[in-house]
């Protein structure tokens, strides 16, 4: 079982990397990508835990990118965590996150909610603060009942303390991942509320920038929508990825290793690039990675 998207407490997940890996192993995951938001902080600990539990840890990251006033998430699978260019890019993203956190805290202060950033730094020693951290603090203070309401009232697009972030461009995010030897994956493509033509534009730009895969299996993605997305993927020679996007055991609707089956007739990232997932390259005959036009899928030659 492959779970190629999840979060530790190094971003907005609830579990330490060690506990996350242990939970994944218990649930039958054999290949796990830990993909914290704009941070590689948890990967060393996750790698050590994976060795103990006999599962393959794929070093990953989920980068927030700006695209036409939207926030698009790109997961970088099997990146080199030591790559200077990737590290510099993520350092810039983290600065943007701290600047936004200060602005959110100032907006909350105007609403009479004081000292949230100070509390955030004490409670969550993270390199990349997220709105999810703010949501948890607002819930803990009893100002809202749950994270959803924290987003609705304060932090979401229509919330009183909403601050837009200045993320890197889609091309930059994809470029950092490729430079670091990773596979750029468009995360949860059905969650951006895009029309068919807008999704086509996004995918065309993603491919032009060097994007290679998209998630075609994740919680709440239903078969009909998955098949529509799979057609768009096949038309562009994009490989299929999958992940639970697990954050916390408290979110009963997600679990490590839990996601729908892949739609039919897709080439998965681990079939296309077995060597990145702890599999011998000989696992796959090259013939299997031809795309619908009989051409090699992007970079399958490598």
- Judged by CB under 5 A, the number of residues near Mn ion is 5
Pick the piece of the chain touching Mn ion (CB under 5 A) from 45-53, 55-63, 141-149, 210-218: 55-63
Backbone angles phi, psi at 270, to 5 degrees: -80, -20
Rank residues 12 and 172 by Cβ distance to ligand AMP and give the closer one: 12
Rank residues 132 and 232 by Cβ distance to ligand AMP and give the closer one: 132
Q: Which of residues 224-253 bind Mn ion (CB under 5 A)?
A: 245
Angle at CA 213, nearest 5°, toward 165 and 184?
45
Q: Which of residues 208-247 bind ligand AMP (CB under 6 A)?
A: 247
Rounded Cα distance, 246 and 217, in Å: 13
Residue with tokens 């895009």: 194
Structure tokens at 260: 């729908």
Residue 12 found at the interface with Mn ion (CB under 5 A): yes
We find the least distance from the C-beta atom of residue 86 to Mn ion, in angstroms, to be 18
Residue 73 found at the interface with Mn ion (CB under 5 A): yes
Distances from the Cα of 10 to the Cαs of 5, 37, 130, 133, 189, in angstroms? 14, 9, 10, 11, 24
Structure tokens at 108: 């909350």
List the single partner that 148 binds among ligand AMP, Mn ion, none, CB under 5 to 8 Å by kind. ligand AMP
Rounded Cα distance, 9 and 102, in Å: 20
Q: Mask: binding to Mn ion, 186-205, rule CB under 5 A, as x and -?
A: -x------------------
Q: Which of residues 23-42 bind ligand AMP (CB under 6 A)?
A: 37
Q: Find all residues with CB under 8 Å of 288, minimum gap 6, and list them.
A: 267, 271
Residue 132 found at the interface with ligand AMP (CB under 6 A): yes
**Interaction site with ligand AMP (CB under 6 A):** 12, 37, 64, 130-132, 135, 147-148, 151, 156, 247
């Amino acid at each position: 079982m492959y779970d190629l998207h999840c979060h530790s407490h190094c971003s907005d997940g609830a579990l330490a990397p060690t506990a996350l890996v242990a939970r994944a192993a218990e649930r039958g995951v054999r290949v796990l990508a830990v993909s914290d938001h704009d941070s590689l902080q948890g990967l060393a600990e996750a790698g050590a835990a994976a060795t103990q539990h006999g599962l393959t840890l794929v070093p990953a990251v989920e980068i927030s990118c700006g695209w036409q006033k939207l926030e698009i998430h790109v997961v970088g699978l099997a990146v080199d965590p030591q790559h200077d260019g990737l590290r510099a890019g993520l350092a810039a993203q983290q600065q943007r996150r701290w600047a936004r956190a200060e602005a959110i805290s100032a907006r909350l202060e105007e609403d009479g909610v004081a000292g949230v950033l100070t509390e955030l730094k004490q409670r969550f020693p993270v390199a990349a603060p997220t709105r999810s951290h703010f949501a948890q603090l607002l819930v803990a203070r009893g100002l809202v009942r749950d994270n959803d309401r924290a987003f609705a009232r304060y932090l979401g697009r229509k919330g009183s303390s909403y601050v837009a972030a200045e993320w890197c461009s889609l091309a930059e995010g994809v470029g950092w991942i490729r430079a670091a030897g990773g596979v750029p994956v468009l995360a949860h493509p059905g969650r951006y509320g895009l029309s068919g033509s807008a999704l086509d534009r996004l995918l065309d730009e993603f491919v032009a920038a060097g994007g290679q895969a998209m998630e075609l299996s994740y919680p709440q993605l239903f078969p009909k929508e998955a098949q529509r997305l799979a057609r768009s993927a096949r038309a562009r020679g994009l490989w299929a990825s999958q992940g639970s996007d697990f954050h916390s055991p408290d979110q009963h609707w997600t679990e490590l290793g839990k996601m729908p089956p892949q739609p039919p007739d897709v080439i998965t990232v681990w079939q296309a690039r077995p060597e990145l997932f702890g599999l011998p390259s000989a696992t796959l005959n090259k013939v299997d990675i031809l795309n619908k036009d009989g051409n090699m899928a992007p970079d399958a030659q490598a």
